[in-house]
Structure formats: structure tokens, C-alpha cells
Structure 1
């Protein structure tokens, strides 16, 4: 047993167990021990709990606006409701030292164990097992094993609870209950789009089907009741199946959910759980990252890999990764720049088809990006800061509330934070370089590159006094500083976006000029556009290291702001819920940043000399307040590159446990932003594999330069590069790379600065560290 905190432990590195009941962690537990599969997420609440307890089954592709302001995913009615009574008195959770919640990460299985009691002292011990099918994305399975402490009569009420927890209004305008044999079915219609959301539910109590139970219905619940005589110590098993589908993904959602539930009932709990576990095994085969010598870090990293996977709609190329995944409705279940820069890279070297799906989603939402650009007076594709199913902007003008005055705050995430478009270009080009997927480039990639380049060209302004192009009125990664000019990260990413478009043109001219001509004709591009992209790229202002200090100014005038530290601002805060940023938060006129901006640039482009990166890390690291879950992984990566391994490990631990240890705020500026921080989950993978594992790829060559923290004896992970697989094992004094036996070609491998080696299928490359660690 290894403790991650006072409340949390791991026994195997594959499990997360919270064994000390703390009442105010209920919301956190619901997110942390979530089961999901990329289609839906079901929070880790007790079977008897309701909307008041934050029960939620959040379903992808159900975007709807109920309050006229926030378009978000819908929470479905709860098809796993089970309420218990003993001798006519309701059984309720009893806070006790034996209460436990657990998550089996290997198999995607949630477990609870607790005692439920009545007001007069009777009780039962309840064990819950629950999973979301990775083999059947619509299926939820739940099994309660109830062990009576006394004799009596156990009443079981089970079915569908239509009382739904929703952050921003009631999303359902019509509800219909039907009974099909022994299956209960609830159909709801969304208020904005009329999407049909169907929940089917079936329960058996000790194999007694619902058809033999009493039917109960009120305005909010559609349930059945069983009355079962019980004997102390003799378990009663309650098995519930629920299936969820919407008309956005299934033509006949009622029929589909009925088939799903009936098949599961016929197969039984263990068979369905085994099928789901087998699907999880296939995921872990290529995506697991194994750490030797540090079980604590192992469990935390696998927790992140699990949540990054269940947040990702791997089954579709029409849907995004939400900033809070499917753990709740916070951030609307929509994509930010996090998707390309933090979530997607975890799939680039493990499951490139999933990465491809996420980029095709961006291609499918190009029209939304074009509409936004046109509305704001630009050309090309200005991607939404918050993007749902259509790519239209979901971010409201007034995101936060001034908690001191109660007035809404006008932020400019949706019109000044332009780097989201070149972020996507960067990832499109990186995907091409890693996969050599020419079909993707022809059908999707090039169009995105050209439309983003077109937008960047229309956005920049020419400064005739300095004979250069500039990016003005920006909001960079550091969101506390708005309306800035020449943000270093943004300017450099715009430069990359223009370069990638120009390089793509050269690539097409070599490989398929006809496809290029057809695309130019369809997009109404010509030689004058190419010349303009060249002109802007070559004369774009790129903030450079100061000749004496080596520090890159974050944006124009940053060095003139008040020089102070995050702890200084803590003393200036009046209310702990207040927003620190624009227009008049405590950080606005200081050098304190919400998250890294210049270091974020090094995260993507580490070609600058290490002494420059070191100078900037020394300058910006103490000025960062880490007010974003995106922050710690970036610091971990750069610190690793600089050889600051103790510091890098500290930042890795912070990003891997931001949810486990509840180190972030759930409410900021009056807005609920709780739930799983999916970007931190993806960032933990990058800190471990790209940072400590030293993984990179250049022009189809696998590059490895591991630097393990002292706590780790070894780090192992799998890699796929251009459809060829390899296993990597980095130890403190040795690196081993083994090419997959099923590979069809050799993999070019470079370890540190050694010569490139062509690693044939099934062969291994071993490189010693010259009797000292690889640092």
C-alpha cells in the first residue's frame, strides 16, 4: 500500500482508493472516480443519490442552450437509480471509517463500499461495482451487493430519475415514459434543437426481473419496487443496466438502447464487464507508461491516462475533447486550444488514428471558424476559443462575474485570443511529420493550413515606422493580461502557421500539383496570396532574447509592469473568489502571470539554445502563479530539458495530481469550473514521456534523450512512428529501444547525439549512459 495523500492510496499502481470519508470531497470524488468511454461519463455518486448530490451522466454530442447564454452538453436522466429501505425505513449512507471508493484503472471499474443505516439503527453493508462499456459505448452496468446486518424486509426501488443536475438551465422541454416489457424507457427532447435523448433501464433483484416488481411513477421518477425478505449475512444482488443514446448519433435511439440493455441482461454482469475490460486492455497495450521505483507516481500517471482517454471521443471525427471531459458540464463540454496542445499529443505516438479524428473534427468545423473570422472582419479561419459541434464560438462575452460588485466582466477570450488558430496549424503539421499521412493532408490538413494562414495574414498590421508586421490587441496564454501587443508566444505561432502553409505548398508541388491546383481553386487562392504569406512571414516581428539577459519579453511593455511575486498578490485579494485578470484584477498591472507564455513557446519549439531557455525559466518561473491547470506540465518539460530534475519532478507531480489532491479552484469569478482537468491529464503524459523519457521525432526519425528523476529506476513506454512500433525502456544508466516484430520497415532511431541507426523489425538497440545517468 502506498499513500498519495491522507485520504488516497494505491495498492498496485493500477488502482486509486479513497478510504477516509471526507464530506466536503463529494464533488471531487464524483469527478475523480468517474467511469466513462468518450461517449458518456457517469459521476461516482452513490446509487441512491439525486441531482442535489451532483449525480450526472454527461453525454457527448448533445449541445443545447437553455438559458440563452451557455450552450453546453446535456446531463441525461439517471438510469442507475437504486434506493433501499429496511422494514419501511429508508436506508442512508452512514459516514464511517470503513467507507471506501475505488477506481480500477486497468479495467475501467468503479467500486464503492459503505454501510447504510436507518434512523432506528438497522443497517446493511453495500458494495457497488459500476462501469461504462468501452465495448458498447452506450452501456452502463451497475451491481449492488447488499449484505444485511439483521433480518427483515428489504425494499428496493430502482429505475430512472429524471431530476437532472444542470449548470445552466433545464435542457428538456418534453419527457415521455414508456415501458417495453421489463425495460423502462425515458425519452427527453432538448429545448433548443429538439434532440431526442433516450435512457433505458433494467434491474433485477436476486435474478427477479422487473416484470415481477411493482411499477411506481411520479413526475420525476419512473421506477419499480421489489420487497425481499432478508437474513443477516446473506447477500442480495441488485443488477442494473442502463443504455443512453441520442438522435444525433443513432437513428432509432429507443430501439438501440433496448437492444443494448437486453443483450447485457442476457450475458450477465461478468461477461459484459469482461468485454469492456478487454477493450481497456487493448488501449493499455499501447498507451500505458510504466514507472519502476515510484508506485505513487505510477498510479497518478495512470489516473491521468485513464481520464484523458475517457474524455476523448475516439469513436468519432465530429466531436471535441472538452476541457473538463465528460465529468460535468463545466466549460460546456467544448474544445479549447488544450485539445491540440495538451490532450492530442498523448495519442500522437500511441494511437495516431485518434489524433487524426481530433484534427478531422477541426476540419469539419472550418465553416464555423470562417463565420467567426468574417463576423470579426478577418479572412480565413479564426477558430472558436470554445468550440462545440459546429465550430461556432461558444464563449460568451461576459465569462466571469466581479464577486466584489456582482457585475459581469467583459473578457476577450473570444476575439483577442487568436493563438488557437495557429495552435491547430502547428498540430496539423506535426501530425503530418509524425505519420506521413498523405491522404489526411490532401483531404483535410492542407485546407486547414491555408485557411489559418489566410486568417493570420488578415490579422497582422504593418508598422511602417519599424518596417515590420505586428500582432496587436492580443490575449496570449497568460490570460490575466489582455489587450497586449506582440505577445511572444502568439507572434511565433503565427510565424509557424505561415511557414507551415508555405511548406505545404512546396510539398504539394512536389507530390501532387493537381491536388494543389484544385484546392486553390476551391478556396479562391492564387499566387498573390502565397506572395503575401511570404512577405508577412519574413517581416513579422518575433520577440527575441535580450542581448544581455537572454530573456524574451512576454509582450510589449511587460518589463515595465510592477515587478512582484504571486505571494505579494495574495495579500491584495479582498475575496478569494475574485478574478485576478482583466480589466482590473490584482495581477493586471504586474509581471505575475496566470500561466507560462514564453515557456509555453519552448514547450512547442525547443530549438533555442539551452542557455536562453534557462535564462527565461529563471526569470518567468517565480513570476507564475499557476492559476491554470495547463501550467505545471510546461514547467516540468522545460525544467527537465534544463536538467533541473528535482524541480521537474515536483511540477510533474503537481500536474498529475491536480484533481486527485484537489489543488485547483472549482469556482472562479462566480463561474463553476470544477471537474477533471483534461489538459493536465494530457500534460502529465507529456511531462513523463516527452520530458523524462526525452521522446521526440525529427523528419521521421525517433529521437530519445531520457533524463529520469532520481526516484525512478526505469521508465517504459510504447511508440508508433509512421505505422512502425517500438518499445522504449529508459533506465538511469541504460536505454533500450526494441522495434516491433510486426513492423514492415526499419525505424530510424537517434539516441542523444549519436548517429541515426536503422532499427530492423524485432531488433533492439542498447545504449549505455557511460557509467553515469543520462542527464
Structure 2
């Protein structure tokens, strides 16, 4: 049972808790309480094992193929969290005996997982258990664990096995050769794994320190080895009141780490370095290492983002902190060769692949809040140009055609071909996204545009950004299809953001975003021609831009862009959508579980109805406002009212966009309801919502709904616009963004916007149509402004 009220004092609205153990709903807290630092993610399985548990340790960038018949995925690395505990010789499990005062919780502020309970054994002996765990943000290679066991009533024999277990797989796919195992000094345990196809070495080291009533335990453990497993066995006797304490520290290193991924790489040096790190860490101990980790969270995260919401509903503040926590632990900020997985590093869902989720739902947070991380994520896409160019060539196109699912940058397309069952035919459903969901190419170009306009980072554009925009535009001009009868270019046989509509022609989002991409390339070409002809000359030689520029200019105005209908201002989602049958979606939209529609219809049937999986036309209107602002509020209103009732929100990406648009349109209560529903995708009471991992993009969307929605922050034609409209029960919100290279602090109430450029640089911004400029703290009254929104 989830409980968010247990944080007290300095930890009020910082703690996510589960207060009732259930062996049938383990996945919820394993996922939403997972620990990480961007280098690795550790799923928060319990120490003692259960049948329905999922133990995952995923390390960014370590992709491998199990066989040629499968796509590459992040492999499930060895587990060191499992402790096989025996009490008086019998297996310890919460399914046996009696459990009281059970609390498992994640403290978002300190990024520490704890679990505490009293347990009475089947023999009637009562013990107190307390577990602690963290994945260090100070040392990206370090995992800390701690276990306290106290005998409350009787003498008791405690025995447990602890070590490194490589007998794991990715739901059956084994990605590793069995490597060497070693125990040093009967204390330091080492195991090596090597991926079978990508040949990445992973070295894990773990060490134990036991104390009884504060004194080091001198008895030596029993050493054990088995296939893909090495461990130590400890046996101790406790008297009533005795307290056993175990500290277990682990280091994880790979040959893909930047400092080792060199031509001079030697496994021997990697082993020595990783073991020395563990020895050094062991001298410090759990508490000192945890303190350094806690300080890193304070200095690198909470003090930087400064996000506070004063709401009558404390859950709002908690949900935003939850989003910021996960945006931090999911992001490989240490290495620009790595992207963000759709399930982050919390589970095996989507195989660790990156989608358009990153650019449109996660990247904006970093662009506005931590530009260095945003730059790293965009450089990942730059490194992916090789794979994008290969995909374009393989499909008969030019330029760069980005893969729908991406892994290691040079891997190219890694989308699986087959998916879930078709409830009508009983066959596997073919996944067409890797073949025809192509809008991701322009989504990445948009992300470059947004980053450049918010940060002003010219160096990035010169080295990476212009090339990405030019080559994606080259793809689109080769992708356009000439319709002789209508004398215009179409884009046929695609999937738009609404994946319930396959093989459609002229998806509005795809067409408009392709048009945006080409138009952006033209503007950048013209800019470089005037300001940096040398760079343009170099890129022209590389990409044949003179010919590309001619094609861009000749084709741009002839691209078919679906226009709002005269009778109701609705933009057709594609050529056929508005002619399909309408189905009442009320019961599906109100269901606890997403995708319930498919218990009654298959995808082919859904394809023939006006049913939308997620924001499609709506996200188009939202994005293009930031570039051209070509759509009026009346058009936005008409399309929101038409499409939202037909949208199931089965994609976790959908709710945040609708929340932003609802707020823009003055639908305040609906905007807040959609924000709350987005917040409850992972944090809600449904205990199977996150079994396969957290919803990474939705967490970025929660931040966007608050900042771009309620705070009204928006990039509009290169300028900063701030049109706040807080929910009625929010008294104020405070946060920091980064604009044109300097942090800017904002405090918003229902009456006043306070803006403070923290470095003293001049900032120009617009509030409800009025333009302001300041280089110091400034207040803008909102009461009179809000009456002039429309």
C-alpha cells in the first residue's frame, strides 16, 4: 500500500513509502524506488528472494545481442543485492511467520532506499530488520548496502549467503560468457562478465564488513563458488538484545567506461583499478560514503533546480520531486555516447532503447535547467548520425533517417519486428514503428532548434547542430512523394505519434514537422552564408549542400500541410481519420490499466476508428508555437475539444501535453486533473502500473506540465515568454531555469511574478503581451495581465 505522508520535518513531501508487503505486487516498488546515477540503475528488489521478483542491474551503454535473431539490448548484469538469510536454519521470508510495522521507502532528498519491519519467526522468535541501500552520485561506480538484525526476544542462529550472482538473464536471454571469479583475503569478491557479441568486460567487486554489538566479527566466512556465482557464507549466534550489522559495498566498472575504452585497454588494469576503488571505499565505510553521496545530491541536484510548490495538496510537491529524482538517476550525464532508455534504468522494458521520448519530453527539462546535460544528450544523437545515414541509405533515401529505437549510437535501427498477441488472430503483432514511424528525425532537429534558442550555444551548433539539421532535412526532401494530380508533395505510409493509426498518408504531425525541419535548414544555411562561410563551405563539401539547398527551396512551399477545416477549424490528423467511425471511449479512459481497449479490439480494428493513443495534432500545435506560432487560440481550442475525447492516453507521454494545452486554453481544472493523472502513472495506487519499469518520458512531462503549463514558460520565436496561470489551490511555485547561459530564479504567485537573473546578465522576456528587460530582481504584477490572455 503506497503512502506519501511518512516524511516528517526536513523530509516532509520527500518520501515515497510502501507500508504493506505483498509478494504479488513487488514490481511497483522495485521500479519506482529504483536507485541510480546515470551510469547504472539498480532495481530495488528486496534482499531476500521471492518468486515474482525482478532483479536488474543495468549499466548504461553496455548493449549486446544475444543472437542474430534478436535486437541489441541492455544486459542484466550480475546481482549483489540478494541475501539468502536463514533463521535457526530455516529460510527467512516474509511469506512465513508474522510481519509487523513494515515500511519500505525511498527518500528522494538523500536518494537512499530503506526497509524496516519486525518479524516473528514460525518458532515465535521476534527480530527487528533494517536495510539501507544507495547508488552513489559521488562515485558513479559505487553501490552501498547495509543490514541490521536485532534479536528482540530469544537466542537465535543467523546464517546468510552473500556475494555476486551472475545466474541472471534478460527474461531468458543470456548476454554473458562465464568469466573468472576470485575471492581476495576471504573478504573481497570479484567476478568478471564479458558480453557475447559486443565483447564488453564488466568487473564487479564486493566486500563485507560484519559487526556484532559494534565490534568487528573475527570469524572467517566460508568461501563458495558455483557456475556464474561466487559468495561467502556467514554464521552467527545472537542473544536477546544483540545487534548484527552487515555493510556490503560493491564497485562496478566496464571496458566501455571512457577512461578504459581506448586502444591501450587491458582487462588486467580494469580489474586492478576497480578492486582498488573497492578497497579504498571499504576503508571509509557505508556512513561516510553515504554522506558524500547525500552531499552530491544536495549540490548537484536540489540546490541547482530549487523547485518548490506550495499547494494545498502535498502530493503535488512530492510528485515534482519524484520527477526530478528520476530525471537525475536515468540520465547518463557522464558520457555523450549514451542516451536515455524509455524505462530509464529501472527495468528491461523496451530493452534500454531510446525513442523520441528523450528529445520532446525529457530533453526540455535539461535544456532549461542543466544545459550541459542537454548538450551531452544531443551529442549522443550526433554520434548516431552514422546509424541514421545507414538507415536512410538502406531504405533508398538520402541524408540522415534516425532509427525509431536507438541503442549504441552506431547500431542504427534496433526496433523489434514482432510484439504482443493479436486477440483476433492469435498471431504476433508486427511492430511497424521501426519501418514507418519517421517523425523522430524532425523531432531531433526540433530539439536542436530548441536547445540553440534557449542556450545560445554557438559552439555546439558549429560542431554538431548545423550538420544534424542539414542532414535530417536532406532525408526529408528525398522522402517527399510528388502527387501529380494535386501538384504537391505528400508523405505517405507512415505512423505518426498516434500509434493506433498505421500506414496512413499525410499525418499532420509528420508533414508539418518535416516542413519545419527543411525550413530550419534553409534559415541556417542563409545564416552561415552571411556569418560563417568557411563552416558552410566545409559542410557543403561533406553533405553536398548546394544541391540540397536547391531542393529545399524548390520543395518547401509545395509540401502538403493539412489545414484547419472551414466548418470547425479541426486539422485532419491524416487523410482518413476524420472519416472513420467514432467509438465512445469513456470506459477505456476511466480504466485503471492502460490498453484495455485491446481486450475487445485488435490493432487493425482500432485503426479503422477515430481513436487516438496519445497527443498527435495537439503536440504539433504545442511544438510549432515555439517556432512559427502559426496557429491561433481558436484553432487550438477547436482541436483540443475534438481530439481529447477521442484520445485514450494509453501512452504515458500524452497527459502532460494535454495538461499544458488545457492550461493555455484556460481550462484550469482540467489542466490540473491531467497533471495529477500524469503524476499518478507511476505514483498512483494501481500496484502493477510500473512492473516493467518507470515511465521515463512521463516524468519529464510532469516537469513540463508544471513549468511550461502552470508557470507559462515558453520559447516563442526565439524569445522567452512567461504567462503564468497556477492551479487555484497552488499558492506559489519557485524554480530556477537557465536562459542564454545564466540561471534565472522565478517565484510565481497568483498575483506576482518575481524574476531574478542570478548572474546579473540582462534578460528580456514577455508577460501576457508586454515586454520587460532587467538584469536584477524584478516584480511583474499579474492581476491586470491575466485579463488580456485572449
TM-score, scaled relative to structure 2: 0.92
User: Bigger shift: 254-263 or 643-652?
Assistant: 254-263
Instruction: Indicate the residue corresponding to 1:140 in structure 2.
Output: 143
User: Bigger shift: 411-420 or 287-296?
Assistant: 287-296
How big is the shift at 1:253? 3.2
Aligned pair partner of 2:325 in 306, 311, 326: 306
How big is the shift at 1:523? 1.9
Q: Does 1:171 align with 2:189?
A: no
How big is the shift at 1:698? 4.2
Instruction: Indicate the residue corresponding to 1:286 in structure 2.
Output: 304
How big is the shift at 1:444? 0.5
Aligned pair partner of 1:240 in 219, 225, 248: 248
- Report SS of the residue matched to 1:474: coil
Instruction: Indicate the residue corresponding to 2:282 in structure 1.
Output: 265
- Report SS of the residue matched to 1:476: coil
Q: What aligned pairs does 1:110-129 form with structure 2 within 5 A after superposition?
A: 110-129=113-132
Q: Does 1:384 align with 2:407?
A: no
Residues 121, 658 of structure 1: alpha-carbon distance in 2 compared, 3 angstrom cutoff: same
How big is the shift at 1:265? 1.1
Q: Does 1:335 align with 2:340?
A: no
Aligned pair partner of 2:650 in 612, 617, 627: 627
Alignment check: 8 A CA contact 1:203 1:210 kept: no
Q: Does 1:461 align with 2:481?
A: yes
The RMSD of aligned alpha carbons is 2.4
Q: Does 1:594 align with 2:602?
A: no
Q: What aligned pairs does 1:323-362 form with structure 2 within 5 A after superposition?
A: 323-362=342-381
Instruction: Indicate the residue corresponding to 1:255 in structure 2.
Output: 272
Unaligned runs of 5+ in 1: 668-672
Aligned pair partner of 1:616 in 619, 639, 656: 639
Q: Does 1:39 align with 2:39?
A: yes
Instruction: Indicate the residue corresponding to 1:62 in structure 2.
Output: 62
Instruction: Indicate the residue corresponding to 1:715 in structure 2.
Output: 733
Instruction: Indicate the residue corresponding to 1:670 in structure 2.
Output: none
Residues 774, 18 of structure 1: alpha-carbon distance in 2 compared, 3 angstrom cutoff: farther
Report how many residues are paired: 759
Residues 582, 720 of structure 1: alpha-carbon distance in 2 compared, 3 angstrom cutoff: farther
Instruction: Indicate the residue corresponding to 1:187 in structure 2.
Output: 192
2: distance between equivalents of 1:368 and 1:117?
57
Q: Does 1:96 align with 2:104?
A: no
Q: What aligned pairs does 1:203-222 form with structure 2 within 5 A after superposition?
A: 203-206=208-211, 208=216, 212-222=220-230
Residues 60, 772 of structure 1: alpha-carbon distance in 2 compared, 3 angstrom cutoff: closer
1: distance between equivalents of 2:439 and 2:461?
22
How big is the shift at 1:341? 0.3
Write the deviation string for residues 28-62 of structure 1: whole angstroms up to 9, x where unpaired.
11001101011111111111227862111111111
User: Bigger shift: 494-503 or 403-412?
Assistant: 403-412
Write the deviation string for residues 467-515 of structure 1: whole angstroms up to 9, x where unpaired.
1111111100000110101101111100110011111112212221101
Instruction: Indicate the residue corresponding to 1:702 in structure 2.
Output: 720
TM-score, scaled relative to structure 1: 0.93
1: distance between equivalents of 2:180 and 2:87?
31
Instruction: Indicate the residue corresponding to 1:87 in structure 2.
Output: 88
- Report SS of the residue matched to 1:472: coil
Instruction: Indicate the residue corresponding to 2:550 in structure 1.
Output: 531
User: Bigger shift: 153-162 or 382-391?
Assistant: 153-162
Residues 159, 72 of structure 1: alpha-carbon distance in 2 compared, 3 angstrom cutoff: same
User: Bigger shift: 277-286 or 14-23?
Assistant: 14-23
How big is the shift at 1:569? 7.2
Instruction: Indicate the residue corresponding to 2:501 in structure 1.
Output: 481
Alignment check: 8 A CA contact 1:204 1:210 kept: no
2: distance between equivalents of 1:636 and 1:663?
21
Write the deviation string for residues 334-366 of structure 1: whole angstroms up to 9, x where unpaired.
110001000111111110010000100000010
Alignment check: 8 A CA contact 1:190 1:196 kept: yes
Aligned pair partner of 2:763 in 731, 747, 755: 747
Q: What aligned pairs does 1:642-721 form with structure 2 within 5 A after superposition?
A: 642-661=665-684, 674-698=692-716, 701-721=719-739
Q: What aligned pairs does 1:389-400 form with structure 2 within 5 A after superposition?
A: 389=408, 390-400=410-420
How big is the shift at 1:411? 2.6
User: Bigger shift: 440-449 or 205-214?
Assistant: 205-214
Q: What aligned pairs does 1:354-433 form with structure 2 within 5 A after superposition?
A: 354-389=373-408, 390-433=410-453
Residues 198, 276 of structure 1: alpha-carbon distance in 2 compared, 3 angstrom cutoff: same
Instruction: Indicate the residue corresponding to 1:76 in structure 2.
Output: 77
1: distance between equivalents of 2:324 and 2:227?
40
How big is the shift at 1:594? 0.9
Q: Does 1:770 align with 2:789?
A: no
Residues 265, 209 of structure 1: alpha-carbon distance in 2 compared, 3 angstrom cutoff: farther
Q: Does 1:556 align with 2:575?
A: yes
Unaligned runs of 5+ in 2: 261-268
Aligned pair partner of 1:224 in 232, 247, 250: 232
Aligned pair partner of 1:471 in 491, 498, 501: 491
Aligned pair partner of 1:447 in 453, 460, 467: 467
2: distance between equivalents of 1:771 and 1:364?
45
Residues 6, 430 of structure 1: alpha-carbon distance in 2 compared, 3 angstrom cutoff: closer
How big is the shift at 1:295? 1.3
Aligned pair partner of 1:274 in 291, 294, 299: 291
Alignment check: 8 A CA contact 1:383 1:391 kept: no
Alignment check: 8 A CA contact 2:768 2:786 kept: no
How big is the shift at 1:749? 2.5
